[in-house]
Structures are given as C-alpha cells and as structure tokens.
Amino acid sequence: MSLETPYTPAIVVDQNILDANIYSMAAFAEENNLVLRPHAKTHKIGHIAHKQLAAGSPGLSVATVGEAEYFFNQGISDLFISYPLWVDPHSGKVLTRLATEGTLAIGTDSVTAVHRLADVTAQHPDIIIMIEINSGHNRSGVSAHQVVPIAEAVRKRHMTLGGVFTFPGHSYGPGEQNVAAEAEAKTLKSAEDYLREAGFEVSVLSGGSSPSAKATVAGGATEIRPGVYVFGDAQQYELGRVGMEEISLTIVTTVVSRDEGSEDTPARIIVDAGSKVLAADRAHWATGHGRVPGHPEARITGLSEHHGTIFWDSADLPEIGSRLHIIPNHVCVAVNLVDEIFVSDGQKVIDRWQVGARGMNS
Amino acid sequence: MSLETPYTPAIVVDQNILDANIYSMAAFAEENNLVLRPHAKTHKIGHIAHKQLAAGSPGLSVATVGEAEYFFNQGISDLFISYPLWVDPHSGKVLTRLATEGTLAIGTDSVTAVHRLADVTAQHPDIIIMIEINSGHNRSGVSAHQVVPIAEAVRKRHMTLGGVFTFPGHSYGPGEQNVAAEAEAKTLKSAEDYLREAGFEVSVLSGGSSPSAKATVAGGATEIRPGVYVFGDAQQYELGRVGMEEISLTIVTTVVSRDEGSEDTPARIIVDAGSKVLAADRAHWATGHGRVPGHPEARITGLSEHHGTIFWDSADLPEIGSRLHIIPNHVCVAVNLVDEIFVSDGQKVIDRWQVGARGMNS
C-alpha cells in the first residue's frame, strides 16, 4: 500500500481490499439469507456507502440523525438509526422529511422515548420503530420480556412497529464471538415470541456486530449490521477475525524521533501519529495502541496527542523522516478524526474522499 | 452552567471560569518571572488565544504547522511549534512565511531534522531552533549531554538557536508533580550548561505541563507551556490540581436509556456522549471515563462511540430525556472532536466559537 500521501499523519485505504471486504460480507449475507444493513458510522463516506448498496444492501444503519441526513443527501434513502434516540424538535423535522421521502427506521428502548418521538414528528405513520433489546452487552436495550409495553405505545401513537434489534457488543472479547452470536439469536427470538403472543407483527430481527456477524446463528437474526468489516482494524486482527491482508485502512505516519535504547530502556521510535489520529481506544487485551504491518514485534506502547511511542527491534530501527503504516485499534473513531482519506490502488494514491459525516454526533 | 445547548452532545464553556483560569496562570507566571506561552493545542480557538495574549503572554505554543498557520492567520505572530518536526516541502513554505512575517520557533531533537528544516526553508536565518530534551517522560527529546551536536548543526546552517525545551509529562501521575518539576529544572539547567561550555548562547529554557506548571522550580525554566489550565478536566481534578469550581468546560449530554438495576447489576443510565465526543483517553489511575459534576459517586464505566454508561445511585436515577454535564478525562482530545463550542455566562448560552484548528494534525 502506498506511503506517498501528501502529508502525515494521513489515512490511506486500499481500494482493492476495501472492495473485496464489501463483497465478502455481501456474499456471506446472501448465502445465509440475511439482509446486510452495514453500519455507516465506521466510514461516514457516501462513496463507500454506494459501494455497499451496489453489493446488494437495501440501505444503511447509522448512529445519529446527522449521519442519517448526510447519507440521505448522498442519495441513500433507506436508513435505520440503530440508537435509542431522544429527539429534539429540530431533529424531529429532519426525521419527518426522511420518513416522508424515504424509508426510515428508528431505535428505542422506552415508552417515554416513543411518545417523545411521536410528539416531535406529529406521529408520522411511516416512521418504523425498532425496539432495542439487551443480549448481554449491558448497554442500552430492554430485556426481551419488557418489549410489549413499548410496542403498545407504538400502536397507540399510530406509528409502525418494524421489529427488534440488538448489539451483541460482548463479541469484542477474545473467544466471545460464538457466545455473543448465540445470545443474540436467543434474545431476538425470545423478544419476537413475546411480541407475537401479544398480537404484534414482527418483520425484522436485527443483530450482527463485526466480530460476530459471520457467526450469526441460523434462525436468529434476519438482518446484520456490521460496520468495521469494510476496513478491519487492530482489534479485529487481535481477536482473530481478520488477517493482516484483509485490512484495507492504515495510517501513514512519519518517524520524528528515535532512540537506540540502552541497558535500561528499549529502543524506540516516536511517530507523528498520536491520539488525535489513532484515538486512544484500547481494550484490556490489546497488545498496544495499534499494529505495524510487516513488523509483528513492534509495540505501540504510548500515545500522546501527536506522538506515538513504538518499541522496536534495535537492530532494525527506522530512520528519522522515514514513513510507516499503522493500523489503528478501532477504525471508526480514527476515521472520525480526519476530514479526508486517501485512496490507493495498492501502489499509489489515486483519489481522496471527504469524510462527509465526520463529527456528526447528534 | 447552562444545559441549554441547541443539541447534545455539545461542549459548553463557562466564560467567567475560563477568564479566571487565564488570569490565574498569567498572574502566577508574572509573580515568578516566567514567560507564559500557553499551549493552544488544547483549545484550537482564536478567540481564546487572544484572551491569553491580553493577559500578558507574548505568543503561543502549538503542536503542528497547521495549528501555527491557523493562529498566525488569526493575528498571532509569535509562535513556537514545540514538536520535533520533520518538515515536508509544503510545510517548509508555510514556515518560511511565518518566520518572515512573524516570530517563529521550531523544536527538534536530531541533527537530521535540523538539516531537513534548513533544506526546505532555504536556511531561513530567522527561524529559531529549540532543542528538545528528555527530562524523564521518555518520549521525544535527547539527553542533556547530547545537545551540542544539534546546536552545531543549527550554527552550520546559519539558523538561530533559541534554547532548549522539555515536556515533563511524567507529571501526569498521582503525586508526581513536584518530582517532574524538579527533573525539568535539573535537565534544562544541565542542557544549558553543556551549550554554554560549547560556546552557545541560550536565551530560553522552556518547560511546564499543566499539572506541574505551578510547581515550576525557581532558577529552572524561564518559560512555561501549560495548555489544559484554561479548561481543566477530570484528569487534572483527579490529580488534585484543580477543584470542580475551576473547571470551565463540560459536555452537555442527554440520558437516552436507564436501567434501575437488579440484585446482579447496578443501576445505570446511558447518555449520548460516547468516545466520539469524550474520547477514550483513560489513565490507569482514573476512576472512569470522566466525571459528573455534582454527583461525585457517579462512575462512567464504559464508552462506546455514542453511548456512555454511568453507574448511578438507584435512589436518584435521572429520567430519560434529562440532561447532564460531564467533564471529559482529557479536554484537548474532546475539543478536537467538535466543530464549535458554546459559551455560557454561567446561566445561559451567549455565544458559540468555532474550533478553527480542529483536526490540524500536520
């Protein structure tokens, strides 16, 4: 992959690997009769979203109203905001437009939020409500047995019940993929049972994190929402979900300082990629703040805002001014730190794409 | 402080506390005969920089060429890029302009980088070179006894030697402020001695992180470069360097989900401030991913991109849709995640400022 970005630190994406990742997940979904609704919070780029739709997805998952509006304006009209929104009046107007002109689903996990949503959208009948359930990640979402009152509120306000969704985020632990995928299937089916018994139609059971998506249990989810799979990252690599050759995105960085080490201190280099481009996300099981492709022994032991500290084999210490690739731990937060990414054909930079939904947190 | 931002998550700054912090540090510097050159990577906002100059600072410290150019265009012409730059040709042109039209100092910690800088700026004689030394943080910077060859390279290329600088970043540990401040003074003086013995003039000894700035040892640094002091953050609070009432910046967030807890799980709320606005920085000694003012027992135990999980006293659990303030762990990286901050007079929002240098990593 090219190191020749016009400046560093900069994000570069290998278009061939990106395309292969998009088609691989699409093929998996098709073979398993699953709808693939990719989570676009990972890339925030219209161009990549259109590739995902060209590969067979009907639409996208997004995290915020701002992301939904951005992708709608990019020509993608089938959107699911898979988040338990509390909607302010301005956002209510945006959602009303998106539901009127396209297909819009919104997450919720409370009766209170259903009423709020109805209030600020004048009970728009086309807004599809998806109830969030907790399948063990213990973040938002109700237990499966608590879904019925929320569905009743949706009916009372004359909105549309789409189904249930969950994020099996406990898949982000070594060896937890199958455990999380099984919990996802069991919880989705249980919620569906409660709703059917209470007389509600359920058309969508939505799940699927990037680590667990390809472990999705048959007969569970009807839809999966992986995001990271387009790029891959050091977390997915260290969890054993992707190989190095499947990672399409790296950060190009320059060595700005080096120390050959001594008896007391290991040899190290300092690069210009710090927490303002790599982000500080680091799971307790991670080996460091990212990985250096081609140098499996290198360890990114420290991050300041503009400094990455990498312990390195002293026999092979890079020179000041040389460039390296780094794979960030968590790619979604890294992409959100830049205004543009560079596109490579594997050899050279051929394009640049704006990160159009960067910073759209609300 | 006001919770009435137009949307959440959003950053709000109390202008009265901000002004008090700026004047407090300026008064400390004046009383101790120190030049205060605030690090503007914390706020990245021209308006705040002008307040710092009005309080007596001659100019700013910045981290990147992009930040330097932004603040220069905001009318601030005395700038020190306190970073061991490896300069590309485009940046060389920017630096040449800033040195010609204003006063520009640049950090380095190698002979190689001095020659590179001379090459890309046509050996601009007005560029002031500051040599970075390592006072125990073990990031970039040479040992004090290694400064002379770098000074000789500066002389050989007919540039201007300003002095030496260090970042006593090991002050970011409980009880380490005085240890770091003493190491800073000792290392700066040692580097100065080596340079004077070799026949070099040294006019500036620059140090001073936010935790250690007010512990600066007399007879050591002539200049300090704290950044965080304008806002404060949860790290500074938990290190005992600031009180809650001295923190001028918070993130306004909405409760989107709540769980009253059970025998097995503590009561929790989920807020819409996640790692894409709080950032994931968390020192090993931190109590969580930030603090909730007025609720010392609340613990931010988890962060996803758009979810903050807060364990909370079940007797007092906030309602869905209510708003809270959160103080981020590390304010510099939080501000870099938004395009604008809201300004409060303590009661209501009165203004908004663009984060003009957001994302300027190079």
Give contacts of A9 with chain B, Cβ < 8 Å.
361-362
For residue B7, tell me if it sits in a domain.
Answer: no
Question: How many Å apart are CA A71 and CA A76, to the nearest integer?
Answer: 6
Q: Which residues of chain A are within 8 Å of residue B172 when distances are taken between CB atoms?
A: none
A258 CB neighbours in chain B (<8 A) are: 110
- B267 closest CA partner among B320, B303, B317, B324: B317
Claim to verify: residue A196 and residue A247 sit in the same structural domain: no
Whether residue A192 lies within 8 A of chain B, CB to CB, comes out as no
Query: Into how many domains does chain B fold?
Result: 2
Amino acid sitting at position A90? H
pLDDT at B305 over 90: yes
A304 plus A171 within the same structural domain: no
Within-domain flag for B221: yes
Same domain? B173 vs B261:
no
Summarised one tens digit per residue, pLDDT across range A140-185 is 999 999 999 999 999 999 999 999 999 998 888 888 899 999 999 9
Q: Is B143 on the interface with A (CB under 8 A)?
A: no
Q: How many CB atoms lie within 10 A of CB A177?
A: 23
Q: Would you call B319 and A90 a contact, using CB atoms and an 8 Å cutoff? A: no
Q: Is residue A23 part of a domain?
A: no
Chain A residue with Cα closest to B336 = A276
CA nearest A66 in B: which residue?
B7
Residues of B in contact with A41 (CB under 8 A): 305-306
- C-beta of residue A121 within 8 angstroms of C-beta of residue A157: no
B131 near B203, Cβ under 8 Å?
A: no
Q: Could you tell me if B203 and B277 lie in one domain?
A: no
Residue A302: its chain B contacts at CB < 8 A?
139
Do the Cβ atoms of B112 and A9 come within 8 Å? no
Of B140, B169, B257, the CB nearest to A109: B257
- Pick from B35, B296, B88, B278: which is nearest to A6 by CA? B88
All residues of chain A having their beta carbon less than 8 Å from the beta carbon of residue B64 are 306
- CA A328, A329, A330, A336 dihedral sign is negative
Specify the pLDDT at position A264: 82
For the segment A271-291, the average pLDDT, to the nearest whole number, is: 97
Torsion of CA A122, A127, A128, A134, to 10 degrees: -60
Evaluate whether A14 touches A3 at the Cβ level (below 8 Å): no
Average pLDDT value over all residues in chain B: 96
What is the predicted pLDDT for the residue at A1? Answer: 72
A84 and A214 within one domain: yes
- C-alpha A98/C-alpha A75 separation (Å) is 11
pLDDT in tens, B247-291: 999 999 999 999 999 888 899 999 999 999 999 999 999 999 999
Residue B10 lies in a domain: no
- Interface contact flag, B362 A10, Cβ < 8 Å: yes
Could you tell me the pLDDT band of residue A241, with boundaries at 50, 70 and 90?
very high
Given a cut of 90, whether residue A45 has pLDDT beyond it is: yes
Res B1 pLDDT > 80: no
In a domain, A161, yes or no: yes
Please check whether residues B151 and B243 belong to one and the same domain.
no
Query: Considering only CB atoms, which chain A residues are within 8 Å of B270?
Result: 84, 139-140
Q: 3-state DSSP call for residue B357?
A: coil
Q: How far is A7 from chain B (nearest CA, A)?
A: 7
Contact check, Cβ <8 Å, A361/B338: yes
Taking residues B188-203, report their average pLDDT. Answer: 97
Q: Residues A222, A99: one domain? A: yes
Q: Using one digit for the tens of pLDDT, what is the confidence trace for B319-329?
A: 999 999 999 99
Residue A93 belongs to some domain of the structure: yes
Q: Residue B256 belongs to a domain with what CATH number?
A: 2.40.37.20
| pLDDT reported for residue B225 | 97
Domain assignment of residue A11, yes or no = no
Answer whether 0.95 is exceeded by the pTM.
Answer: yes
Selected residues 70-89 of chain A with any CB under 8 Å from a CB in chain B = 83-86, 88
- Same structural domain, B65 and B156: yes
Question: For A101-105, A170-174, A258-262, B108-112, which range has the lowest pLDDT when averaged over its residues?
Answer: A170-174
- Say which residues have a Cβ less than 8 Å from residue B299's Cβ, sequence separation at least 6: B287, B288, B310, B311
B-facing residues of A in 289-318 (CB < 8 A) are: 302, 304-307, 309
- The pLDDT tens digits of the residues spanning B135-152 come to 999 999 999 999 999 999
- Look up residue B252 and give its amino acid: V
Chain A residue with the nearest C-alpha to that of B302: A139
Q: Which domain holds residue A323?
A: 235-354
Which contacts (CB < 8 Å, 24+ apart) does range A25-30 have?
A: A25/A213, A25/A214, A25/A226, A25/A229, A26/A52, A26/A55, A26/A56, A26/A57, A28/A213, A28/A214, A29/A56, A29/A224, A30/A56
CATH code of the domain covering residue B129: 3.20.20.10
Substitution target from B132, B251, B276, B307 for chain A, most A beta carbons within 10 A: B276
Structure confidence by residue, pLDDT tens digits, B38-72: 999 999 999 999 999 999 999 999 999 999 999 99
DSSP class of residue B239 equals T
Q: Is A12 helix (H, G, I), strand (E, B) or coil?
A: strand
pLDDT on residue B28 = 97
In chain B, the residue whose alpha carbon lies closest to the alpha carbon of A254 is B86
The string of pLDDT tens digits covering residues A48-80 is 999 999 999 999 999 999 999 999 999 999 999
| Summary mean pLDDT of chain A | 96
Percent of chain B at pLDDT > 90 equals 91
| Residue linked to tokens 């970075």 | B132
> Could you tell me if B90 lies within 8 Å of chain A, comparing CB atoms?
yes
- Asked if the C-beta of B111 comes within 8 angstroms of chain A's C-beta atoms, the answer is no
Same-domain pairing of A281 and A210: no
Q: CB of A310 within 8 A of CB of A268?
A: yes
pLDDT band at residue B172, thresholds of 50, 70 and 90? confident
Same-domain status, A260 and A209:
no
Nearest CB to B306; choose among A8, A83, A321:
A83
State residue A98's pLDDT score. Answer: 98
Could you tell me if A219 and A264 lie in one domain?
A: no
Residue B330 tokens read as 């590390």
A110 interfacial to chain B (CB closer than 8 Å): yes
pLDDT computed for residue A224 by the predictor: 97
> How many percent of chain B have pLDDT more than 70?
100
Give the one of A109, A309, A321 whose C-beta lies nearest to B139's C-beta: A309
- What pLDDT is recorded for position A262? 87
Which A residues, 217 through 236, put their C-beta within 8 Å of a C-beta on chain B?
none
My answer on whether B244 and B224 are in the same domain is: no
What is the DSSP track for A176-215? -HHHHHHHHHHHHHHHHHHHHHTT----EEEE--TTTGGG
Task: Give how far B31 is from chain A: nearest CA, Å.
Answer: 31
Q: Which of A64, A272, A280 sits opposite B280 (nearest CB)?
A: A280
Give CB contacts under 8 A, 24+ apart, made by B220-223: B220/B181, B220/B184, B220/B185, B220/B186, B220/B188, B220/B189, B221/B34, B221/B184, B221/B185, B221/B188, B222/B34, B222/B35, B222/B163, B223/B34, B223/B35, B223/B36, B223/B37, B223/B165
Over residues B350-361, mean pLDDT: 98
Which of B199, B230, B261 is where one domain is finished?
B230
- The partner residue sitting opposite A139, judged by closest CB among B64, B307, B321, is B307
**Within-domain flag for A19:** no
CB B67 within 8 A of CB B360: yes
**Which 238-267 residues of chain A touch chain B by CB within 8 A?**
254-258, 265
- Count residue pairs from A and B with Cβ separation < 8 A: 159
Chain A residue at shortest CA distance from B340: A359
Provide Rg for chain B, Cα atoms.
22
Q: Which of A209, A226, A243 finishes a domain?
A: A226
Query: Which of A192, A226, A260 is the C-terminal boundary of a domain?
Result: A226
CB contact under 8 Å between B320 and A361, yes or no, is no
Range with lowest mean pLDDT among B19-33, B208-222, B299-313: B208-222
How far is residue B149 CA from its own chain's centroid?
30
